[in-house]
Amino acid sequence: MVAEADLNRHNNGDDSSRALIFTYGTLKRNFPNHVLLQDLMLSGDASFVGTYRTLHNYPLVCGPYRVPFLLNIPGSGHHVRGELYSVTAHGLTRMDELEGTTRAHYERLPIKVIPDDIGGDGDVAGGLRCAEAYYAHRDYAMEMWKKNEKRGFVCYGEKEARGYVKRKDRPQHLTFLDHISSFISSSSSSH
């Protein structure tokens, strides 16, 4: 009977063991990598919490192949809009794999978010959530900010995603970090 209870807790996602993940790019609804969150929601390893924005300003930029990157440079950029999900440990493992956290593509770090519908003078404290987000890895984040001429987006939307190339359609003989390095060192701007 204990094993069945453990199984139900995994499948239903025991809230005490869930993490809140703020998504701002291709993991959002109607974007190419949302299929992962759909799979996780079907298995009970993720649930949609709501539409949120960052409490503080952060740069949100595009890199190679119009891949979005949130940069851990608080105070720069905008209050970034995105979606908040509650995710189990199993779901986090799958998301970390997609985001390349062990390969220095992204880093999962804390972020504070508030519901997107709270106005500038609204009750920020009442809706404040401590979550985590996938930021561009610190090894290249500042260079990515400079490459984007220190201009970012409020939201990764249809316009910003125009030209996005799915992972399977990118040149496979280079690593993602090679693509990032080439993007940063190229002379053309991403805007």
- Residues marked active site are found at 99
Q: Would you say 188 and 95 are in contact if contact means Cβ atoms under 8 Å apart? A: no
Amino acid at residue number 18: R
The set of residues, in sequence order, having a beta carbon less than 8 Å from that of 57 and lying 6+ positions away, is 74, 75, 76, 77, 78, 79
Cα-to-chain-centroid distance, residue 190: 19
Vertex 45 angle, CA 40 and 50, to 5°: 80
The string of DSSP letters for 12-37 reads HT-GGG-EEEEE-STTSTTSTTHHHH
Q: Would you say 102 and 168 are in contact if contact means Cβ atoms under 8 Å apart? A: no
Q: Would you say 92 and 99 are in contact if contact means Cβ atoms under 8 Å apart? A: no
Print burial letters for 154-187: b (CB count within 10 Å at least 16), e (below 16): ebbeeebbeebeeeeeeeeeeebeebbeebbeee
